[in-house]
């Protein structure tokens, strides 16, 4: 019975896993931006903004 549910929600669970990983990276990035020197944190913020744009584009394709 659980395996049938897993097959039905396979797409959703994969996207949820990806979002969980991204949230984990954002948490790490937030800690980094707090403790790392400002030039490095500014550099990281720009890459993070790009990641958000890419992720929103991926979501819009569905």
pLDDT at 53 over 50: yes
pTM for the complete prediction?
0.32
CA distances from 9 to 5, 13, 20, 33 (A): 6, 6, 16, 36
Token pair, residue 28, equals 């790490």
Query: What is d(CA 10, CA 39) in angstroms, rounded to the nearest whole number?
Result: 41
As a whole number, mean pLDDT of residues 6-30 equals: 74
Distance CA 4, CA 1 (A): 5
- Give which of 9, 10, 11 is closest to 61, Cα–Cα: 11
Q: What is the mean pLDDT of the chain?
A: 66
Q: pLDDT by residue (tens digit) across 23-42?
A: 878 887 777 667 665 555 55
Mean pLDDT of 47-60: 66
């Amino acid at each position: 019975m659980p395996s049938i549910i897993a097959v039905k929600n396979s797409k959703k669970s994969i996207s949820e896993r990806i979002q969980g990983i991204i949230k984990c990276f954002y948490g790490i990035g937030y800690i980094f931006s707090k403790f790392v020197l400002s030039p490095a944190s500014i550099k990281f913020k720009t890459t993070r903004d790009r990641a958000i744009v890419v992720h929103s584009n991926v979501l819009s394709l569905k």
